[in-house]
Amino acid sequence: MNLVLKIWRQSGPSDSGRMVKYHVKDVSPDMSFLEMLDVLNERLILEGDDPVAFDHDCREGICGMCGMVINGVAHGEQVATTTCQLHMRHFEDGATITIEPWRAAPFPVVKDLVVDRSAFDRIIQAGGFVSVPAGSAPDAHSIPVRKEDADSAFDAATCIGCGACVAACPNGSASLFTAAKITHLSLLPQGQPERLSRAKAMVEQMDAEGFGGCTNTGECTAVCPKGIPLDTIAQMNSDYLKAAK
Amino acid sequence: MTATIERGAATEPVASAAPPPRKVRFLTSSNGKKVVMAVTGAVMVLFLVGHMVGNLKIFIGKDSFNEYAHALRTLLEPIAPYRTLLTLVEIVLVVSVGLHIWAAVSLSRQARRARPVKYVARKKSQASGYTTHIMRWGGVTIALFVVWHLLDLTFGVVNPKGTNSLPADRMIAGFDPSRWWVTIIYVVAVVMVGLHLRHGIWSMFQTVGRGTARLRPVAALVSAVLVIGFLAPPLAITFGVVK
Amino acid sequence: MNYIEGPEIRDTKAPEGPIEERWEKRKFSAKLVNPANKRKLDVIVVGTGLAGGSAAATLGELGYNVKSFCYQDTPRRAHSIAAQGGINAAKNYRGDGDSIHRLFYDTVKGGDFRARESNVYRLAQVSVNIIDQAVAQGVPFAREYGGLLDTRSFGGAQVSRTFYARGQTGQQLLLGAYQALERQIAAGTVTMHTRHEMLDLIVDDGRARGVIVRDMVTGEIERHLADAVVLATGGYGNVFFLSTNAKGCNTTAIWRAHERGAYFANPCYTQIHPTCIPVSGEYQSKLTLMSESLRNDGRVWVPLAAGDSRAPGDIPEEERDYYLERIYPAFGNLVPRDIASRAAKNVCDEGRGVGPGGLGVYLDFRDAISRLGKDAVEKKYGNLFEMYERITGENPYDVPMRIYPAVHYTMGGLWVDYDLQSTIPGLFVIGEANFSDHGANRLGASALMQGLADGYFVLPTTLGDYLAAGPFGEVSEQAVAEAEIKVRTKIDRLMSVNGTRTPDSFHRELGKLMWDYCGMERTEESLRKALERIPELREEFWNNVKVSGGPEELNQVLEKAGRVADFFDLAELMCLDALVRTESCGGHFRAESQDADGEALRDDASFAHVSAWEHTASGEPVLHKEPLEYEYVKMSQRSYK
Ligand SMILES: Cc1cc2nc3c(=O)[nH]c(=O)nc-3n(C[C@H](O)[C@H](O)[C@H](O)COP(=O)(O)OP(=O)(O)OC[C@H]3O[C@@H](n4cnc5c(N)ncnc54)[C@H](O)[C@@H]3O)c2cc1C
Ligand code: HEM
Ligand code: HEM
Ligand code: SF4
Ligand code: F3S
Ligand code: FES
pLDDT in tens, C469-506: 989 999 999 999 999 999 999 999 999 999 999 999 99
Between β-strands A114-115 and A109-111, what pairing exists: parallel, antiparallel or unpaired?
antiparallel
For the domain spanning C273-408, the CATH number is 3.90.700.10
Q: List all residues whose CB is within 6 A of at least one atom of ligand 6.
A: A 56-59, 61-66, 82-84
Give residue C523's Cα distance to chain centre.
24
Q: Which pLDDT value is given to residue C570?
A: 98
Q: Judge whether C76 counts as a catalytic residue.
A: no
Nearest CA in chain B to C225: B1
The amino acid at C121: Y
Q: Which pLDDT value is given to residue B7?
A: 31
Q: What is the pLDDT of residues A183-204, one digit of tens each?
A: 999 999 999 999 999 999 999 9
Which of B108, B203, B210, when mutated, tests ligand 2's pocket best, judged by the most ligand atoms within 8 Å of its CB? B203
Q: Which of A59-73, B23-37, C80-94, C573-587 has the lowest mean pLDDT?
A: B23-37
Min Cα–Cα distance to chain C from B127, Å? 22
User: Distances from the Cα of C345 to the Cαs of A208, B43, C94, C224, in angstroms?
Assistant: 56, 71, 35, 47
Most A CBs within 10 A among B28, B39, B119, hence the mutation to make, goes to B119
Strand boundaries in C240-388, DSSP class E = 264-265, 270-276, 299-303, 320-321, 361-364
pLDDT surpasses 70 at C415: yes
Sheet order of strands, C264-265 included? C4-5, C622-627, C609-614, C264-265, C413-414
Q: Which pLDDT value is given to residue B24?
A: 53
C129 in contact with chain A, both atoms CB, cutoff 8 A: yes
Between β-strands C270-276 and C320-321, what pairing exists: parallel, antiparallel or unpaired?
unpaired
Q: Which pLDDT value is given to residue B26?
A: 80
User: Does the beta carbon of B161 lie inside 6 Å of ligand 3?
Assistant: no
Give residue C270's Cα distance to chain centre.
8
Q: Say which residues have a Cβ less than 8 Å from residue C295's Cβ, sequence separation at least 6.
A: C155, C274, C275, C333, C334, C340, C363
More confident residue, B243 or C374: C374
Residue B37 CA to ligand 2 centre (angstroms): 7
Query: How many interchain CB pairs under 8 A, A with C?
Result: 220
Q: Check which CATH number belongs to the domain holding B138 and give it.
A: 1.20.1300.10
CA geometry: angle at B214 spanning B213 and B215, to 5°?
A: 90
Q: Are C208 and C425 in contact (CB under 8 A)?
A: yes
Q: Which pLDDT value is given to residue B99?
A: 96
Exposed / middle / buried, residue A9 (Cβ in 10 Å: 0-12, 13-18, 19+): middle
Exposure class string for B81-115: b at 16+ Cβ within 10 A, else e: eebebbeebeeeeeebbebbeebbebbbebbeebb
Q: Which ligand is nearest to the CA of A65?
A: 6
Nearest CA in chain C to A189: C138
Residue C325 CA to ligand 2 centre (angstroms): 65
Per CB-CB distance under 8 Å, the chain A contacts of C192 are: 121
Q: Are C444 and C85 in contact (CB under 8 A)?
A: yes
pLDDT surpasses 50 at C108: yes
Architecture of domain C4-269+411-467: 3-Layer(bba) Sandwich (3.50)
Percent of chain B with pLDDT over 90: 50
Q: Are C148 and A144 in contact (CB under 8 A)?
A: yes
- For the segment(s) C494-602, the CATH number from 3.40.30.10, 1.20.58.100, 2.40.110.10, 1.10.3720.10 is 1.20.58.100
Q: What is the pLDDT of residues B212-234, one digit of tens each?
A: 888 889 999 999 999 999 999 99
* A163 backbone φψ class: left, alpha, beta (φ>0; ψ -120 to 50): left
Q: What is the DSSP string of C480-523?
A: HHHHHHHHHHHHHHHHHH--SB-HHHHHHHHHHHHHHHHSSSB-
A153 vs C248: CB contact, 8 Å cut-off?
A: no
Model confidence band, residue C626 (pLDDT cutoffs 50, 70, 90): very high
Q: Which ligand is nearest to the CA of C79?
A: 1
Angle C19-29/C459-467 helices, nearest 10 degrees?
40
Angle A231-244/A195-208 helices, nearest 10 degrees?
100
Sheet order of strands, C401-410 included? C270-276, C401-410, C361-364, C299-303, C320-321
Q: Which pLDDT value is given to residue C599?
A: 84
Q: What is the DSSP string of C561-624?
A: HHHHHHHHHHHHHHHHHHHH--S-BTTB-BTTSB-TTS-B---HHHH-EEEEEE--TTS--EEE
Structurally, chain B folds into a number of domains equal to 1
Q: Which pLDDT value is given to residue B4?
A: 31
Phi, psi for C190 (deg, rounded to 5) = -120, 135
> Is B7 a member of any domain?
no
pLDDT surpasses 70 at B128: no
User: Does the beta carbon of A170 lie inside 6 Å of ligand 2?
Assistant: no
Give residue C202's Cα distance to chain centre.
25
Phi, psi for B171 (deg, rounded to 5) = -65, -45
pLDDT surpasses 90 at C132: yes
User: Does the beta carbon of C50 lie inside 6 Å of ligand 1?
Assistant: yes
Strand pairing partners for C614?
A: C622
Per CB-CB distance under 8 Å, the chain B contacts of A219 are: 125-127
Q: What is the pLDDT of residues B10-56, one digit of tens each?
A: 333 333 444 444 455 788 899 999 999 999 999 999 999 999 999 99
Most A CBs within 10 A among B7, B12, B118, B126, hence the mutation to make, goes to B126
A238 vs B26: CB contact, 8 Å cut-off?
A: no
User: Maximum Cα–Cα distance for chain C, whole Å?
Assistant: 74
Q: Average of pLDDT values for B165-187?
A: 89
CA geometry: angle at A194 spanning A191 and A200, to 5°?
A: 115
Q: What's the first-to-final CA gap in chain B, in angstroms? A: 94
Q: Which pLDDT value is given to residue A99?
A: 98
Q: Which ligand is nearest to the CA of B175?
A: 3
Min Cα–Cα distance to chain B from C172, Å? 22
Most C CBs within 10 A among A30, A49, A57, hence the mutation to make, goes to A57
Angle A175-186/A231-244 helices, nearest 10 degrees?
70
Q: Which ligand is nearest to the CA of A171?
A: 5
Q: Are A198 and A182 in contact (CB under 8 A)?
A: yes
Q: Which chains have at least 3 CB atom pairs separated by less than 8 Å from chain C? A: A, B
C147 vs A145: CB contact, 8 Å cut-off?
A: yes
pLDDT surpasses 90 at B242: no
> Is B231 a member of any domain?
yes
Q: Say which residues have a Cβ less than 8 Å from residue A37's Cβ, sequence separation at least 6.
A: A52, A54
> Is B211 a member of any domain?
yes
**C182 vs A60, A129, A185: nearest CB:** A129
Model confidence band, residue B243 (pLDDT cutoffs 50, 70, 90): confident
Mean of per-residue pLDDT scores for chain C: 95
Residue C230 CA to ligand 1 centre (angstroms): 15
For residue B131, what are the domain limits?
33-112+126-238
* C439 backbone φψ class: left, alpha, beta (φ>0; ψ -120 to 50): left
Q: Which pLDDT value is given to residue C26?
A: 97
A58 vs C82: CB contact, 8 Å cut-off?
A: yes
Q: Reply yes or no: is the peptide bond before residue C18 cis, omega within 30 of 0.
A: no
Q: Are C179 and C235 in contact (CB under 8 A)?
A: no
Q: Average of pLDDT values for B187-201?
A: 94
> Is B12 a member of any domain?
no
Model confidence band, residue A172 (pLDDT cutoffs 50, 70, 90): very high
Q: What is the pLDDT of residues C304-349, one digit of tens each?
A: 999 898 999 999 999 999 999 999 998 899 888 888 999 999 999 9
Q: What is the pLDDT of residues A137-161, one digit of tens each?
A: 999 999 999 999 999 999 999 999 9
Q: Which residue of the set C166, C337, C442, C533 is catalytic?
A: C337
CA geometry: angle at A110 spanning A109 and A112, to 5°?
A: 75
> Is B51 a member of any domain?
yes
> Is B118 a member of any domain?
no
Look up the ipTM and state it. 0.93
Q: Which pLDDT value is given to residue B28?
A: 85
B203 vs A133: CB contact, 8 Å cut-off?
A: no
Q: Are C468 and C68 in contact (CB under 8 A)?
A: no
> Is B5 a member of any domain?
no
Nearest CA in chain C to B3: C40
B207 vs A237: CB contact, 8 Å cut-off?
A: yes
Q: What number of other Cβ atoms are within 10 A of residue C616's Cβ?
A: 14
Q: What is the spatial distance between Cα A45 and Cα B44, in angstroms, rounded to a whole number? A: 61
Q: Are C264 and C236 in contact (CB under 8 A)?
A: no
User: Does the beta carbon of A65 lie inside 6 Å of ligand 4?
Assistant: no
Q: What is the DSSP string of C37-61?
A: HHTT-EEEEE--SHHHHHHHHHHHH
Most C CBs within 10 A among A34, A124, A190, hence the mutation to make, goes to A124
* B242 backbone φψ class: left, alpha, beta (φ>0; ψ -120 to 50): beta
Q: Which pLDDT value is given to residue B78?
A: 75
Per CB-CB distance under 8 Å, the chain A contacts of C136 are: 130, 132, 136-138, 140, 190
The domains of chain C are located at 4-269+411-467, 273-408, 494-602
For ligand 3, atom 6, the nearest C-alpha belongs to: B55
Q: Which pLDDT value is given to residue B129?
A: 65
Residue C105 CA to ligand 1 centre (angstroms): 25
B2 vs C61: CB contact, 8 Å cut-off?
A: no
Q: What is the spatial distance between Cα C308 and Cα C350, in angstroms, rounded to a whole number? A: 12
For ligand 1, atom 2, the nearest C-alpha belongs to: C83
Asked whether the whole model's pTM tops 0.90, one would answer yes
> Is B20 a member of any domain?
no
Q: Which pLDDT value is given to residue B40?
A: 97
Model confidence band, residue B6 (pLDDT cutoffs 50, 70, 90): very low
Per CB-CB distance under 8 Å, the chain B contacts of A221 are: 127
Per CB-CB distance under 8 Å, the chain B contacts of C210 are: 1
pLDDT surpasses 70 at B235: yes
pLDDT surpasses 90 at B82: no
CA geometry: angle at A45 spanning A39 and A46, to 5°?
A: 95
Q: What is the spatial distance between Cα C116 and Cα C565, in angstroms, rounded to a whole number? A: 32
C67 in contact with chain B, both atoms CB, cutoff 8 A: no
Q: What is the spatial distance between Cα C336 and Cα C345, in angstroms, rounded to a whole number? A: 15
Q: Which pLDDT value is given to residue B10?
A: 35
Domains of chain A (ranges; CATH) run: 3-105 (3.10.20.30), 117-244 (1.10.1060.10)
Q: Are C82 and C246 in contact (CB under 8 A)?
A: yes
Between β-strands C42-46 and C228-231, what pairing exists: parallel, antiparallel or unpaired?
parallel
Strand pairing partners for C626?
A: C610
Q: Are A71 and A98 in contact (CB under 8 A)?
A: yes
pLDDT surpasses 50 at C140: yes
Exposed / middle / buried, residue A163 (Cβ in 10 Å: 0-12, 13-18, 19+): buried
Q: What is the spatial distance between Cα A126 and Cα C448, in angstroms, rounded to a whole number? A: 27
Q: What is the spatial distance between Cα B56 and Cα B50, in angstroms, rounded to a whole number? A: 10
CA dihedral sign, ordered B56, B59, B64, B65: positive
Q: Which pLDDT value is given to residue C457?
A: 97
Percent of chain C with pLDDT over 70: 100
Per CB-CB distance under 8 Å, the chain C contacts of B3 are: 42, 65
Q: What is the pLDDT of residues A59-118, one digit of tens each?
A: 999 999 999 999 999 999 999 999 999 999 999 999 999 999 999 999 999 999 999 999
C246 vs A137: CB contact, 8 Å cut-off?
A: no
Strand pairing partners for C210?
A: C202, C225
Q: What is the DSSP string of A176-211?
A: HHHHHHHHHHHTSGGGSTTHHHHHHHHHHHHHHTTP
Within a 13 Å sphere around the CA of C412, how many CA atoms are in the beta-carbon half?
29
Per CB-CB distance under 8 Å, the chain B contacts of C184 are: 10
Write a three-state SS string for B68-82.
Answer: HHHHHHHCCCCCCCC
Q: Are C208 and C229 in contact (CB under 8 A)?
A: yes
pLDDT surpasses 90 at C60: yes
Per CB-CB distance under 8 Å, the chain B contacts of C209 are: 1
B7 vs C226: CB contact, 8 Å cut-off?
A: no
User: Does the beta carbon of B62 lie inside 6 Å of ligand 3?
Assistant: no
